[in-house]
Amino acid sequence: MKKYLYLFFLIFFIACEEKRKPNIIISSDLELPISCMKLNRLGDKELINSLDKLYDFNESCALTLTLSSKKDIVCNSTSNVMSKNMGKFPKSFLKLELRKGMRVEYSYYIDLYSNVDEDDVKEGFAQLKRDLLCRVSQ
């Protein structure tokens, strides 16, 4: 009987672990595939450096990629009490935005249950590459 009880709790906790899906927005005016990107180097230096290793950024390109993130998010709002108590409140977020001037051409945003790290940046940039660099124009 104890074995079944342990198995039940194990299945319950594994089944309840949820992988968040990113929100992705691609401008209909963006010509695909894109040929280059410039990197905005403001922000978390560790994450920017890991992003810089993933692509040969061109400083003369009109499209600028910006990485935004926040770690250890704490919300004191009483409207989020249930979410925080149930363990569904995000601990960090990652956003990759590709802009041409002030216009957002591509946006990748994901809430994370742990602090954002280099693997999250790699995963986000891999999605960006699939969406913008490897895509065939139609």
Q: What is the pLDDT of residues 94-112, one digit of tens each?
A: 999 999 999 999 999 999 9
What does pTM read for this prediction?
Answer: 0.75
Residue 76 confidence (pLDDT): 59
- Cβ atoms of residues 136 and 33 within 8 Å: yes
Specify the pLDDT at position 91.
80
Is 6 within a domain?
A: no
Domain membership flag for residue 118: yes
Beta bridge partners of 106: 26, 98
**Is the predicted pLDDT of residue 9 greater than 60, yes or no?**
no
Residue 99 lies in a domain: yes
Residues 6+ apart with CB under 8 A from 12: none
pLDDT, residue 77, reads 54
Please check the confidence at residue 62 and state whether its pLDDT lies above 50. Answer: yes
Kindly tell me if the per-residue pLDDT of 15 is higher than 60. no
Q: Which domain holds residue 45?
A: 20-133
Number of domains in the chain: 1
